[in-house]
């Protein structure tokens, strides 16, 4: 059985409606998937009648480490989790306002009332949403180019969750916290072993329980290195493509990993059986 434990819907920065995902992934040969939208579980609520792993991806900072923390097997109705999500909405709104102001002052770009209304009604607005508007206006060929040219230099301050709070909240919600794309995510340079290992020590101290060892942007050498790190530190092994529909050039089913290689699947199944 093939698994993909890192999927996004349009409740955050994916392009697909959450209700479309089960068929899209099934058609791509994915048997087990986790919906892990950024800082929201709205998509999970929409899929309440489907069988899947309920997840979230929390934009965090563990001490000095900027990171994304995946929470798997969470109770989406947990009060602590939903309180954190509400805090995240305020942080994202703050970041959005900063970026809108930056685009106006630095690039002389102003959103139309209709565009602003669309941005303000997103469940979890992220940089990709603004980039997509810039692309539609003809200012860039794709959202990656738009972000690099217009948004990456915008300083938004620290609008991330405290990492320890995020990890503890996931655990309180019955979930398992996993470090997403730990060597570096989309558009980021990948860390060397010398850079990564001290950070791994800190992340373990903060309470992380697993690593996303299989990732669509990692080569075989990087995957094997992460598997070694996970095994040596008794961490669970996860894997996901980071599928975003048309918002990233990652096709559904790209990861092509069987569930038996992901020890977190067995853990989640055991918890579910209890």
| 2-72+176-273: CATH class | alpha beta
Task: Give the integer Cα–Cα distance in Å for 20 and 29.
Answer: 15
pLDDT digits (tens, 9 = 90+) for 98-127: 999 999 999 999 999 999 999 998 878 889
Q: What is the pLDDT of residue 274?
A: 59
* Sign of the dihedral through C-alpha 89, 48, 58, 222: negative
DSSP assignment of 194-263, as one string? Answer: HHHHHHHHHHHHHT--EEEEEETT--HHHHHHHHHHHHHTT-EEEEE--B-GGGSS--TT-S-EEGGG-H
Q: Could you give the residue range(s) of every CATH 3.20.20.140 domain in the chain? A: 2-72+176-273
Task: Give the integer Cα–Cα distance in Å for 207 and 28.
Answer: 34
pLDDT digits (tens, 9 = 90+) for 222-239: 999 999 999 999 999 999
Q: What is the pLDDT of residue 123?
A: 78
Phi then psi for residue 169, to 5 deg, are: -70, -40
Q: What is the pLDDT of residue 121?
A: 87
User: Mean pLDDT of all residues in the chain?
Assistant: 95
Q: What is the pLDDT of residue 75?
A: 98
- DSSP category for residue 3: E
Q: Is the pTM of this model over 0.85?
A: yes
């Amino acid at each position: 059985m093939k698994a993909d434990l890192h999927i996004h819907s349009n409740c955050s920065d994916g392009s697909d409606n959450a209700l479309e995902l089960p068929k899209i992934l099934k058609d791509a040969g994915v048997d087990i998937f986790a919906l892990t939208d950024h800082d929201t579980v709205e998509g999970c609520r929409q899929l309440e009648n489907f069988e899947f792993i309920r997840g979230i991806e929390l934009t965090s900072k563990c001490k000095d480490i900027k990171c994304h923390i995946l929470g798997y097997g969470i109770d989406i109705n947990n009060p602590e989790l939903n309180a954190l999500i509400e805090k995240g909405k305020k942080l994202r709104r703050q970041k959005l306002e900063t970026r809108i102001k930056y685009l106006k002052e630095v690039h002389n770009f102003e959103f139309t009332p209709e565009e602003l209304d669309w941005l303000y009604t997103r469940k979890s607005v992220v940089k990709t949403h603004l980039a997509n508007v810039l692309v539609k206006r003809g200012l860039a060929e794709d959202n990656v180019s738009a972000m690099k040219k217009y948004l990456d230099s915008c300083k938004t301050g620290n609008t991330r969750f405290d990492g320890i709070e995020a990890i503890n909240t996931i655990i309180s919600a019955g979930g398992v916290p996993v470090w997403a794309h730990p060597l570096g995510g989309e558009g980021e340079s990948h860390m060397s072993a010398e850079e990564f290992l001290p950070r791994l020590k800190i992340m373990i101290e903060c309470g992380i329980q697993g690593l996303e060892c299989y990732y669509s942007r990692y080569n075989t050498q990087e995957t094997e290195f992460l598997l070694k790190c996970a095994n040596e530190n008794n961490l669970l092994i996860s894997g996901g493509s980071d599928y975003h529909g048309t918002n990233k050039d990652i096709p559904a089913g790209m990861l092509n990993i069987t569930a038996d290689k992901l020890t977190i699947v067995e853990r989640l199944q055991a918890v579910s059986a209890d």
